[in-house]
Structure 1
Amino acid sequence: MRSRVHHFGDYQLDPAARELRCAGAFVALPPRAFECLAYLIEQRERAVGRDELIAAVWGKADVSDTLLAQTILRARRAVGDTGNEQHAIRTVPRFGYRWVMPTETLTNDTAPVAETTAPVAPATPVAAEPPAIAAPPRPRRIWPALAAVALIAATSLGIALWPSAAPPPAAAARANAQGAAIVLPVDVEEGPEWAWVRLGVMDFAASRLRARGRAVLPSETTLVLLARRDGTGDALRLAQDSGAPLVLAPRARLIDGRWQVRIDAHAGDAPLQRVEANAANVLDATRLALDQIVGPAHGEAAPDQRAERLQRAEAAMLADNVDAARREIAAIAAPDDDAELIYRRAQIDFRAGDYESLDRRLLPLLDRLDPAREPRLRGFVLNGLGSAAVRRNRMADAQRWYGEAVERLKPLNETRALGQAYTGLGITQAAQRQFDAALATFAQARVTLETAGDALGVARVDANLGIVDVERARYPEAIAALRRAAARFAAFGAVNEQLTTLIGLARAQLESLAPADAMQTADAFWSLAGRSASPPLRHQMAVVRADVLAHCGRLMEARALLGGLMKEIDPTAEADTLARAQAVLARLAFADGDTVEALRLTSAAIETLPGEQFERELAELRRLRLRALLLLERADEARALVVEFTQWAEANGNPSARIYAQLAAAELAWHAGRRDEARAAYEKVLSDAEAANIPIDLAAVVQSYGGALLEAGDRAAAAPVIARVARWADADYGCSMLQVWSYWAQGDERGWQEALEKARRLAGERPIPTALAEPPRPLSSP
């Protein structure tokens, strides 16, 4: 794999390996200080604002100036810099920091040191004495992660800054046929008090065009597409390369107390159209310039001071400056019950992750808004409530909010907000396993977002459709859909969405027993990890990558990766990710023979993972716990566990949970010597696993049942059972080792030799059991 290493002075910084070295010696650095250092180096062509740096490293806005200063001081000291000298990290007054030390970035063709995956638990029954065979770990449910990504657009739910009629359906259809226009950030060179014009006027112009029936790329999507680059020329090229039929490049200058706004309109191969307007207010000058491009709108009021404040707040939101957005809203003189401002404050709460405050604002507001008289604002409020409910895994509440949002927004033809409502509703339906309804809803979302010109929203829908296919075990369709969505996110530069989609793709590939493909996908998302400003997302990637590495037999890397993760993760804010990491560590401990540690880790993970979201992971953990108890001869606890496991699986209705509960019951009966009962249970769960057609579940059942039969010496009965997973023996180590054992038990030296060669290619660090590495003895009878 190719990794980028930054060289400066005597130092080398490897973001992928998370290592800083000086003259070859390792330099210890706290995680946040390392991330600050790496981010500043990678953005060294420009100054990085304080708020941007905080978002990139901490992933939240409520970080004190003191903590940031202390972190920067540690980063400076690590590279021999000080606050006075500033030969590496320069303070930009009233803004942020910039990396100024001469730096060269080289590419190595070596894998990062700390990359790793998770281990694999033995799959043969606990009672079996022949060599244990490693089975793949159960993949976690990936829906919650993709659900969050699918709603990224909901951080700006889009209430207009002034009353305006929605475009009629015919106008929207024409706009869709023409494609979505792009409004670029404004070229403005005035004082710092006018910095908001760059994004605020861009959003103002896009909103005005949208109100006049033109499909326009949402402002946040434009920034994603441009990767927040400065320089109009570069931005123009990127926008034109996207295929947009119309690109508007505005420029604003303050001349003798009046604003001059010039807009260059680039429409395909047509000649450049340049328009210009002057006014005392920058928004009014922009409105007048737009009138010359698309024609004046009858009855459209000139923007007032309130509109400017709201646009300033929107600019701050687009720049991820939550505190500045709050200040702009607070500066508007209005009654406490101003509905629009209440909604705006709730938007800011959502961006800050304060969902409790959002509820406190929006629930009373919802009671005030009459569905007949104020359907538009009510629809926006319902979208906001639904978004917050999804983030807290309150899917039933979210489904109710989004369902009504669709009812309110559909007659108004508010296409973008309606597309978000459909997307959210589809997520809640899929999360509750209402797959047929979800597919129909996502189809509506896709059509609506296409009409709105929201190409990034369409890509999010496609990613969610891929996840639905994963949940329905339609792996070829899921893998194709997720690959397409990841490619579209990459084209937009939507890193977080791309990463989360690649996580889903890796899990789909593991579930379909294609670990080599999953490893390629994990390499792809891990190489991009440094570009994500979300530490929680990077931690999720680490857990999934650990799983994939272990499937490929790279166990030392898996342990190293998880060891580093456990030092960084916030156990309160990232409880689910911590539990999944503990699940992987539990499987590693069990594979290493540390049964007591495996029990401890399974207990911790089971207590933390929410049952309504991670049924399959919890089922695999319960089965692993049973096997550990049987090895420790704690039979009473094992029997109690199987009773509880069976009741739990029947209650939640998840097909995979049922399969694992049945498998645990069969293994308990086998261990207790009740072989007839165990065989009947095995036959039933084998039939159910084949009907479910989930490769990784079927492999777990066959490895357990086939191993039990081989351990009992029943080669004739074992052979047809083991044959059910022979198709995956070329790719999956557990299935491959089962073939080795089967041929060895039958005395088939030629078959054993061929199977052993395959297993050795797949083993990685997993040892081939000594007994199975020796040629089998020929048998005179089956």
Structure 2
Amino acid sequence: MATPLIRFGAFRLDPQARELFENGERVDLPLSTIECLIHLIRHRDRPVGRDELASAVWGRVDVSEVSLSHAIVRLRRRLGDDGNAQRVIRTVPRLGYRWVMPDTVEEPAGETPAVAADAVAVAAPPARGGLAIAVFIVGATVALAFAVFAWRMHERTPDTAPPPANSALVLPVRVDAGAEWAWLRLGLMDLVATELRRGGLATTPSETVVAQVQARGEDGVDLPAAWRVTPHVAHEHAQWHVRLDVHGATRDLAIDARAADPLRATRDATDELLIKLGRTPPADDGDDDALAAATLRQRAHAALLANQFDVARRLVEQAAPGLQASPEIALIRAKLAFYSGDYEGSRRQATELFAQLPPGADAGLRARVANTLASAHFRLARLDDAERVYADAIRIAQDAHEPDVLAHAYLGRGGVASQRVRLEAAAADFGRARTLFEAGNDPLGVAAIDLNLAINAMQRGQPATALPLLERVRTRLRALAAVDALAATEVTIVEAQLVLLDHDGALATSAAFVAPDNENGNPRRRWQFTFARAAALAGSGRLDEADLLLARLRDASDPDADAIARALAESLSGEIALARGEPARAAEYAAGALTPVLAAFNREQYVQAWCARIRALQRAGAVADAAAEIERLRAQVLAPGDGAMADPGAEVLLALAGAEQAEAERRPELALQHYADAMARATARAVPEELVRVGAPYVRALVAAGRVDEAASVHGRIAAWADRDLRAAWSAALVYHALGQAAAVDASLARARALAGQRSIAALETAVR
């Protein structure tokens, strides 16, 4: 049932959407203030204590009295009340506050009239990536119903939904001035976009526009917006002339402004545009020092948008010492380090900057710094720190009413929850971020959310659901020319293809991963690509090529910065050694993968590496050691902790390890019991890789026990993949040999030989002779 709406006076409150309307127009208030309003109204039958209100709104009671008082003052002011009249909110001495407005009524949500088209929601309540290392673009507990609702809403929402009526898109500036002013092309573009956004227009992020311009040219930009702004700037007669050509669905506008400084002229033109659109221009920030700082900030930001990291670095280094010491420039330095793959350097710089910004400083800046710091923590697998700082960024951005910063903070916190297999909390934050990105006309942000929802589906054991969504995201990101996000998406597609046993597809997707032009200026990304390509090669039996890539990763990657990629490489090397029949080497490789950083960042891959080590010990004859490892693994799998969901995929692997251990201990009946348990778990999840991983050795054990009918039944569950997966083809050959069907044995053996590549099938050849 929908949450009832609440009416009082000229106001209508939607508690579920966290929206307040006055006479049908949405009222802009920080989310914390809306939460205060909701809690006071819902408990209007009694006074609400300050601690209770702080806990309900901020999740803790140690919120400063100033924050709580400001929220109440803001509410009173917006509702036409004050501390003297107290007609709406009454102060209860030594206790707290009480809602006292008469005629406050609830009504069913379905009776609410339609909201005006330009009423944009400020959302109420950014994974493991593909193959464990496709990291989110960054980078609350709710009921399952919310996650399902959010997913279904996405499925039935077309990609070509009309833009919000108050949305704008700003193209790069056409500059008629000397070469030394070329930076104005992107610098003034971002200035116009920022000012329009501050004036209340949902303006597409500049980096999204720039990426598509680079890929398609200005005429090829195809992004939704109600207003399309093309700026021009020229230096004429010692003055700067700025013109904004604005195209809308029903009318066009032309704005002109002149000033001695290009930034001043641009701000004047943007102010006039906002006024003509019925918006209030933002307050000016002022003096010559502020203008100089803004000039440097815009030039550096322009270089960042164009992926010209060296240019941005030189601009900052050549600036006056006073400007170099400004917090905005310090943030640019931290972002430069981050985008260049120096996550530890970014963390140090952002930590120092955040400590230098007192709580009373520019809240929007503090929130952006917090997001950068949290993102660095995330990439360094410091998940506790990332979660804590993302929570700080959310709180600060809410109070500062910075929806774009808030969206990225929710995306990042959702990523942390996803890494920890807290999938419902992750889906909730992704839903909050998506609402904000859509309201802000940010298609790249929306695509990032869909990427993370697909990763979430992979974690739930739903690769067949994830893959079509990933392919749609890839199409959108290619159109947006979003290189970094596209890389993460394609790596995740490879993972989905591998678990769906589409080895040819994984090879095709990863074919360009190790090309020299795919490094994107970030060595961290290079090794993610390398590992993904090696996994695709190994899945197709091309073991030498996979080994070569993994050796390159080991030799050239950084032991600290690339610790996750190196751990994954050790795990895959262990699997390859097992496929070659080298259990001792496999056990060593797998042991090298069992690092704390992999355990923190990718629990599923950690469990897989541990199971590979157990299997290697079993095959090497170290049966007692393998048994001890299983008990240690069982203790971790069955007690995930930290609020995480139970991991059904890990439980499948654990049941399979128990079956193979019983076989190694020569206890065939117990082994068959464990195999049956593992197969039941795999069947419930219906993930092809898990079905074949369990089914093939189960068939072998049943044939060895003379239970041919049961073996044929189990093989039937994996037979669909016998033409593309070596293990399923092997299973078919064993079953047909047990049934005495020689022609079918020959056909299955031929398929196994074709699929084997460099994997040994000598045991199969012996078994069916």
TM-score (norm 2): 0.71
Partner of 2:94: none
Partner of 1:605: 593
Matched, 1:554 2:542: yes
Matched, 1:236 2:218: yes
1:178-257 paired onto structure 2 within 5 Å: 179-190=167-178, 192=180, 194-227=181-214, 235-239=217-221, 241-242=222-223, 244-257=225-238
Deviation at 1:754, TM superposition (A): 4.5
8 Å contact 1:143–1:467 — kept in the other structure?
no
Higher deviation after alignment, 442-451 or 624-633: 624-633
Q: Percent identity?
A: 29
Partner of 1:17: none
Partner of 2:683: 690
Q: Which deviations, in whole Å up to 9, do the C-alpha atoms of 1:631-680 show, x marking residues without a partner?
A: 33334433333333333333435333333233223222211212233233
Partner of 1:735: 728
Which of 621, 633, 642 aligns to 2:630? It is: 642
Matched, 1:446 2:427: no
Q: How far apart are the structure 2 equivalents of 1:475 and 1:299?
A: 47
Change (3 A) 1:518 1:560: same
Q: What amino acid does structure 2 have at the position aligned with 1:452?
A: G
8 Å contact 1:329–1:345 — kept in the other structure?
no
Partner of 1:421: 409
Q: What amino acid does structure 2 have at the position aligned with 1:725?
A: I
Q: Which deviations, in whole Å up to 9, do the C-alpha atoms of 1:193-233 show, x marking residues without a partner?
A: x4443322221111111122222221222221222x8xxxx
Deviation at 1:772, TM superposition (A): 4.1
Q: Which deviations, in whole Å up to 9, do the C-alpha atoms of 1:337-370 show, x marking residues without a partner?
A: x77676666555655632342353255356x315
Q: What amino acid does structure 1 have at the position aligned with 2:299?
A: A
Q: Which has the higher contact order (CA 8 A, sep 6+)?
A: 1
8 Å contact 2:191–2:298 — kept in the other structure?
no
Matched, 1:460 2:471: no
Matched, 1:705 2:705: no
Q: Which deviations, in whole Å up to 9, do the C-alpha atoms of 1:364-400 show, x marking residues without a partner?
A: 356x315xx9754554444334323322223333333
Q: What amino acid does structure 2 have at the position aligned with 1:722?
A: H
Q: What amino acid does structure 1 have at the position aligned with 2:294?
A: L
Which of 325, 337, 359 aligns to 1:369? It is: 359
Cα root mean square deviation, aligned? 3.4
Q: Which deviations, in whole Å up to 9, do the C-alpha atoms of 1:416-439 show, x marking residues without a partner?
A: 112112211221221221212222
1:386-401 paired onto structure 2 within 5 Å: 386-401=374-389
1:560-599 paired onto structure 2 within 5 Å: 560-599=548-587
Deviation at 1:270, TM superposition (A): 6.2
Partner of 2:266: 286
Partner of 1:678: 671
Partner of 1:475: 463
Q: How far apart are the structure 1 equivalents of 2:170 and 2:661?
A: 63
8 Å contact 2:128–2:455 — kept in the other structure?
no
Partner of 1:11: none
Q: Which deviations, in whole Å up to 9, do the C-alpha atoms of 1:276-298 show, x marking residues without a partner?
A: 33211111111223344443756
Matched, 1:668 2:661: yes
Deviation at 1:411, TM superposition (A): 6.0
Partner of 1:312: 296
Change (3 A) 1:325 1:432: farther
Deviation at 1:610, TM superposition (A): 1.9
Partner of 1:384: 372
Q: How far apart are the structure 1 equivalents of 2:239 and 2:649?
A: 68
Q: Which deviations, in whole Å up to 9, do the C-alpha atoms of 1:513-566 show, x marking residues without a partner?
A: 222332332236567953733232122112111211222233343234334444
Matched, 1:277 2:260: no
Give the secondary-structure state (helix, strand or coil) at the position aligned to 1:213: coil
TM-score (norm 1): 0.70
Q: How far apart are the structure 1 equivalents of 2:335 and 2:572?
A: 37
Change (3 A) 1:764 1:214: same
Change (3 A) 1:623 1:384: closer
Q: How far apart are the structure 1 equivalents of 2:594 and 2:544?
A: 25
Unaligned runs of at least 5 residues, structure 1? 1-138, 152-172, 777-782
Q: How far apart are the structure 1 equivalents of 2:282 and 2:635?
A: 65
8 Å contact 1:180–1:244 — kept in the other structure?
yes
Deviation at 1:711, TM superposition (A): 3.4
Partner of 1:484: 472
Q: How far apart are the structure 1 equivalents of 2:355 and 2:767?
A: 74
Q: What amino acid does structure 1 have at the position aligned with 2:287?
A: D
Partner of 1:134: none
Q: How far apart are the structure 2 equivalents of 1:531 and 1:488?
A: 21
8 Å contact 2:663–2:671 — kept in the other structure?
yes
1:2-41 paired onto structure 2 within 5 Å: none
Equivalent residue pairs, number: 604
Q: What amino acid does structure 2 have at the position aligned with 1:719?
A: A
Q: How far apart are the structure 2 equivalents of 1:703 and 1:729?
A: 10
Change (3 A) 1:525 1:629: closer
Give the secondary-structure state (helix, strand or coil) at the position aligned to 1:176: coil
Partner of 1:66: none
Q: How far apart are the structure 1 equivalents of 2:350 and 2:269?
A: 40
Unaligned runs of at least 5 residues, structure 2? 1-126, 140-160, 304-308, 641-645
Change (3 A) 1:458 1:528: farther
Give the secondary-structure state (helix, strand or coil) at the position aligned to 2:598: coil
Give the secondary-structure state (helix, strand or coil) at the position aligned to 1:149: coil
Partner of 1:543: 531
